Amino acid sequence: MAGDKVVEFTDGNFEVEVLKADTPVLVDFWATWCAPCKAIAPVIDELAETYAGQVKIGKVNVDENPATPGQYGVRGIPTMILFKGGQVVDQLVGAVPKNQLESLLQKAL
């Protein structure tokens, strides 16, 4: 479901891959049964290609990794949370247009 530049984050690797990352990280919280998540997936893949080397982009499957979404108050999916230096910079909820996601990424660059 993800392009080759999109990283899979889990409860187990979240701290190392996201919170201790050297670059900003965009995390897409999603599930296989979520239609809006599927709708936004190609945009996430495209952004991962465009921002490769500048922003790490990955996904957390909320069904397989329940601890992390709970920790960040994720109530609806898709939720995209932008992290920089281990801190939440901003977040968007829902299948938002690509330009909104790009604006979100610009906050961390």
Which CATH number covers residue 43?
3.40.30.10
Residue 1 has pLDDT above 70, yes or no: no
Quick check: is 1 in a domain? no
Domain extent at residue 79: 7-106
Residue 36 has pLDDT above 70, yes or no: yes
> What integer pLDDT is reported at residue 4 of this predicted model?
84
Residue 33 has pLDDT above 70, yes or no: yes
Residues forming the active site = 34, 37
The Cα–Cα gap between 56 and 27 comes to 8
Quick check: is 26 in a domain? yes
Quick check: is 79 in a domain? yes
| pTM recorded for the entire structure | 0.96
Residue 3 has pLDDT above 80, yes or no: no
Q: How confident is the model over 33-40, as a mean pLDDT? A: 97
Quick check: is 2 in a domain? no
Per DSSP, the three-state class of 97 is coil
Burial 33-59 (b: 16+ CB within 10 A, else e): ebeebeebbebbbebbeebeeebbbbb
Residue 69 has pLDDT above 90, yes or no: yes
Residue 84 has pLDDT above 70, yes or no: yes
Q: How confident is the model over 62-85, as a mean pLDDT? A: 97
HEC secondary structure over 28-82? EEECCCCHHHHHHHHHHHHHHHHCCCCCEEEEEECCCCCHHHHHCCCCCCCEEEE
Number of domains composing the chain: 1
